[in-house]
Amino acid sequence: MSRITLPRLSVAVATSVAAVALTAVPAAAHTEVEADKAQALAENVTVTFHAEAESDSSGIKEVRVVLPEGITPADVTYDKGPAGWKFTADKDGYTVGGKELKTGVSAEYSVVVRQLPDAKEVAFKTLQTYGDGHVDRWIELDENGENPAPTLALKAAAPGAKPIASASATENPASAAPTDADPTPAAGETLPTVSAQAADTAEDSASGLSAAAWTGIGAGILVAAAAVVLAVRRRGGAEE
């Protein structure tokens, strides 16, 4: 009967425990996120990101984030980050970046979110670019994936908390459409002009008779006067 010595047994148990632990622990996101108020529908939340430097030859120069559903670029403002870095919003998220950091130095920055969505968690897909052009893509929504996106777990919304209108909905309110009674032309539009002849006709019509009618009356008067003169002359010649 073979015997297993205590040291060998201890090593075997330790190895087994380590193997189980390694398979049970999900892959850690190399870009991490946390918030001062990690709660659904919380307002004016400061969200902090830690982008770990993983290159031995180049430093981080830019971090781009695709925002989760329920947060628009207009709802995010820059808080603070590496010296000289700037914040730029785009159609589906934002970018922070600037002078390349020293090799091995992680990039930490924070933004303020107007309101977190009513959800259990929110994932911020992240592209981390180095000075040599290499990009780390932390975009997988599976926390057990090789490149998991930094994900923020949220507590349930506070009683009475309600969604507020996104800032993007109030930046460019639609202008009121002109009514039918509004004579002011729209930008680039010209009102139809009226010719002088048409204006005269309209004025004469407003007085009761058109210009043509007045012309006919005048001609009739002249014909009548000529007839009277002719009649008088004939009568005078007959009397002689």
pTM: 0.61
Q: Give the pLDDT confidence of 117-145 residue by residue, as tens digits.
A: 999 999 999 999 999 999 999 999 998 89
Range scoring the smallest mean pLDDT among 3-12, 41-50, 94-103: 3-12
Please write the tens of the pLDDT for every residue from 48-98: 999 999 999 999 999 999 999 999 999 999 999 999 999 999 999 999 999
Pseudo-torsion of CA 75, 76, 79, 83, nearest 10°? -150
pLDDT at 45 over 60: yes
Mean pLDDT (whole number) for 204-233: 52
Give me the DSSP letters along 165-191: --THHHHSPPPPPPPTT--PPPTT--P
Find the farthest-apart pair of alpha carbons in the chain and give their distance in angstroms, rounded. 180
* Residue 39: strand, helix, or coil: strand
Closest to 50 measured CA to CA, from 62, 34, 61, 71: 34
